Amino acid sequence: MADVAHDLSGAKRRIIERLKRADSATAPGLAVEFGLTDTAIRQHLEALEAAGLVERLVAPSVGRGRPPVHWRLTASAGSLFADRHRDLTVDLITTIRTTLGDDALTQVVKARADRQLAVYRAHLDGATTLTERVHRLAEVRNTEGYLAEAIDSDVDGAMTLVEHHCPIRDAADSCAALCSAELELFRKAVGPDATVAREQHLLDGGQRCVYRITPS
């Protein structure tokens, strides 16, 4: 998918944009619209299909002959178009701070952390050891896009939680309370029988965020 997605020039890009504006289209219809042969259009569509960007829909057969095949975009194709989620998030943080004040922003961050904690506790439910809890914590952080991993240690039964990516980096740059809440979130999630300390921090110049989790 990556190779095609980064090389969407000419006809492929036009096909993607055309399908974005319509529910679906047929290869012959696209061929006529773009002034290309059916074969050329089908080759482009099949390449986009192999990349996971379009999919085919076979309409119910009416009468004799093959039923018409329609093509539409997949959900994955959405990443090819403009995305302002980060800008919106930072703008909302700034608006809350300037309109309602830092206390209100802190309350919003806390409410978000409380919701996360409920999800984490459900995921960690049934884990009887610190090792298992940290591994499960890494799993749930992975689902949130942090590229997290739990590393066992033979020293004092300590664990290391490493996050190689921060999907909320722009928001965290704008609101340091998000990182403070995250550290407290981990402490509550793993339980009172362990201490959590941040040893590396992306916002402080680290290459990743690293947390040392040690039995109390």
User: How far apart are the C-alpha atoms of 28 and 40, rounded to whole Å?
Assistant: 10
Write the pLDDT tens digit of every residue in 137-186: 999 999 999 999 999 987 788 999 999 999 999 999 999 999 999 999 99
* Mean pLDDT computed over 51-76: 82
Contact 184, 113 (CB under 8 A): yes
User: How far apart are the C-alpha atoms of 179 and 186, rounded to whole Å?
Assistant: 11
Domains of the chain: 2-80 (1.10.10.10), 85-215 (3.30.1380.20)
Write the pLDDT tens digit of every residue in 91-111: 999 999 999 999 999 999 999
